[in-house]
Amino acid sequence: MGNTLYDKLWDAHLVEQRDDGTALIYIDRQLLHEVTSPQAFEGLRLAGRQPWRLSANIAVPDHNVSTMAAERAAGLSALADPVSRIQLQTLDDNCADFQIPEIPLDDERQGIVHVMGPEQGATLPGMTIVCGDSHTSTHGALGALAHGIGTSEVEHVLATGCLIQRKMKNMRVTVDGGLGMGVTAKDIALAIIGELGTAGGTGYAIEFAGEAIKDLTLEGRMTLCNMAIEAGARAGLVAVDEVTLNYVKDKPYAPRGAQWSQAETLWSALKSDQDAVFDAEVVLAAASIEPQVTWGTSPEMVTSIGGRVPVLEDMKTDTQRNSLARALDYMGLEPGMAITDIRPDVIFIGSCTNSRIEDMRAAAAIVEGRRVAPTIKQALVVPGSGLVKAAAEREGLDKIFMAAGMEWREPGCSMCLAMNADKLAPGERCASTSNRNFEGRQGFGGRTHLVSPAMAAAAAITGHFVDVRTMGGQD
């Protein structure tokens, strides 16, 4: 019986298998940010411990940075929110104290940790990668074993270079055939979550396979793996192929010369064997996937753009009926209403899910030469890193967004989780390219609809959700 990609990554990092079923797994790379690391560093300090291996780590501030150009230009000491300022300063201080490499706030390479990592080649195929952030699953797109951990585990990895783990089960989600025009990785992710449910992947590492996945760019695969956690799976994976190697080659921290040849040979084997057996298999037809829009307060509450908000009679159990009633009440929606009748107040294009250059391009292609609808109060475009921002500006995308009436911001997590000043007011409705539509996620009382960048851009123009395929601009 062959091995899955997950089995191979696990075996290659197994330090010790213990009788009680737990294992010690070696961690190649740990990404650190300001929110989930301070208590871990404090733990090291209290115990008098030093980092096991400095070369395992890289830090970057992202979660609660300002996205306003003037505030950013004035430096950390000028950050308006004093609580955020202390947390960001603490990251700088901890990195200095423990000699952890940190990309500072004013560096062009700064960005959302899951955009920066692959962009710098700090995260690479074949690695085990962790971060105190559940969207670490993103890096699985490189053919790496990557998942989120809690702060105690951040401290554990800092102190020991390892994690105590129990092996997950294997699931393969195959998306057969080619995607339709205007349908993106985000729509695949949401359609899969709609199929599996928000806990369907709990206990599994999910490998995404099939023609539609092979056809995705590496950025698209990151969008998909990013949302594996929204189906409950800590890790998402895609096998290494030419797309992966072409993406990684020449990244700043990627191996070069003779090491590149060694890496290419090692990484090319990072795929599941033909006869590998998965504990669970799910197959979707790409042709059946349409642009998706979430209507509720869990990512599984999703339908296609031609769909309707469910009615209570659609639900089978009391718990489901209660969830639906609560979600509709929170979201301010009527049962049975058409998705295209939902009118957002705010547009957010950004987050570790959708803030890479191709996301910026997809959104710009829709808004080019058009104006944001007058009913839209605010339309934010937040690139995932300073390098994405610079690349977009070289292509003139910033001008397209601003001419349409959108705001072009500095990189950071921004309104995905609203830890900075970018947040919804109570009752406000947002078409968002982020990953979670939980109650209050984008601001107290805020209402989130998850969509692709092109769909968010289309809603910005028309003032309501609309099938992006009727808008042109997707070639």
Binding to another protein (CB under 8 A) within 301-320 occurs at 319-320
Distances, alpha carbon 342 to alpha carbons 150, 307, 333, in Å: 37, 12, 8
By the 8 A CB rule, do 213 and 224 touch? Answer: yes
Instruction: Indicate whether 87 belongs to the interface with another protein (CB under 8 A).
Output: yes
Q: Side by side, which strands form the sheet with 57-59?
A: 57-59, 29-32, 128-131, 145-148
Nearer to another protein, 320 or 375 (CB): 320
**Separation between Cα atoms, residue 386 and residue 111, nearest integer Å:** 6
Nearer to another protein, 230 or 398 (CB): 230
Q: Which residue of 32, 65, 79, 122 would you call a contact of another protein, by CB under 8 A?
A: 122
Neighbour-count burial of 89, counting CB atoms closer than 10 A to its CB (0-12 exposed, 13-18 middle, 19+ buried): middle
Region for 354 from its dihedrals, namely left if φ exceeds 0, alpha if ψ lies in -120 to 50, beta otherwise = beta
With contacts defined by CB under 8 A, how many residues of the chain interact with another protein? 92
Contact call for residues 432 and 297 (beta carbons, < 8 A): no
Q: Is 28 in the site for another protein (CB under 8 A)?
A: yes
Q: Is residue 133 at the binding interface for another protein, with CB under 8 A as the rule?
A: yes
Q: Which one of 50, 322, 375, 470 is in contact with another protein (CB under 8 A)?
A: 322
Closest distance of CB 150 from another protein, Å: 4
51 counts as binding another protein under rule CB under 8 A: no
Region binding another protein by CB under 8 A among candidate stretches 213-221, 350-358, 374-382, 435-443: 435-443
d(CA 238, CA 144): 8
Q: Which of 2, 11, 39, 306 binds another protein (CB under 8 A)?
A: 39
160 forms part of the interface with another protein (CB under 8 A): yes
Q: Which is nearer to another protein, 42 or 273 (CB)?
A: 42
The piece of 129-137, 218-226, 386-394, 464-472 that touches another protein (CB under 8 A) is 129-137
Bridge partner list, 385: 111
Q: Are 424 and 362 in contact (CB under 8 A)?
A: no
Give the one residue of 61, 111, 126, 310 binding another protein; rule: CB under 8 A.
126
Tokens 């753009």, residue located: 305
* Closer by beta carbon to another protein, 4 or else 57: 57
Length of the chain: 475
Cβ nearer to another protein, comparing 75 with 426? 426
Q: How far is the CB of 127 from another protein (least distance, A)?
A: 7
- Cβ proximity to another protein: between 95 and 471 the closer is 95
> Counting contacts by CB under 8 A, is residue 15 touching another protein?
yes
By the rule CB under 8 A, 21 interacts with another protein:
yes
Per CB under 8 A, 22 contacts another protein = yes
For residue 5, which amino acid is it? L
Of 106, 108, 178, 259, which lies in the binding site for another protein, with binding defined by CB under 8 A?
A: 259
Nearest to 59 by CA among 99, 93, 101: 101
- Report the alpha-carbon distance of residue 433 to residue 449 in Å, rounded: 8
Distance separating alpha carbons of residues 191 and 193, to the nearest angstrom: 5
CB of 151 to another protein, least distance (A): 4
Q: Select from 79, 145, 171, 254 the one that contacts another protein (CB under 8 A).
A: 254
Q: Which is nearer to another protein, 24 or 277 (CB)?
A: 24
Cβ nearer to another protein, comparing 136 with 294:
136
Separation of alpha carbons 28 and 458, rounded Å: 41
- Least distance between another protein and beta carbon 378 (Å): 19
**Nearest to residue 182, comparing CAs of 305, 284, 337, 283?**
305
The answer to whether 359 contacts another protein (rule: CB under 8 A) is: no
The CA-atom distances, in angstroms, between 1 and each of 21, 274, 276, 278 are: 21, 9, 6, 11
Q: Of these, 3, 71, 92, 134, which contacts another protein (CB under 8 A)?
A: 134
**Amino acid identity at 287:** A
Q: Residue from 111, 255, 350, 411 that binds another protein (CB under 8 A)?
A: 255
Cβ atoms within 10 Å, residue 255: 18
Q: Binder to another protein among 84, 244, 304, 354 (CB under 8 A)?
A: 84
Task: Collect all residues with Cβ–Cβ distance below 8 Å to 138 and sequence separation of at least 6.
Answer: 114, 117, 118, 146, 222, 225, 226, 236, 352
In the complex, the smallest distance separating the C-beta of residue 289 from another protein, rounded to whole angstroms, is 23
In terms of CB distance, is 44 or 381 closer to another protein?
44
For residue 438, state whether it binds another protein (rule: CB under 8 A): yes
Task: Confirm or reject binding of residue 64 to another protein (CB under 8 A).
Answer: yes
Question: 194 with 293: CB under 8 angstroms?
Answer: no
| 140 in contact with another protein (CB under 8 A) | no
Whole-number Å distance between alpha carbons of 62 and 58: 13
444 binds another protein (CB under 8 A): yes
User: Is 148 an interacting residue with respect to another protein (CB under 8 A)?
Assistant: yes
Contact between 208 and 4 under an 8 Å Cβ cutoff? The reply is no
User: Are 294 and 449 spatial neighbours (Cβ–Cβ below 8 Å)?
Assistant: yes
* The one segment of 196-204, 238-246, 386-394, 459-467 that binds another protein by CB under 8 A: 196-204
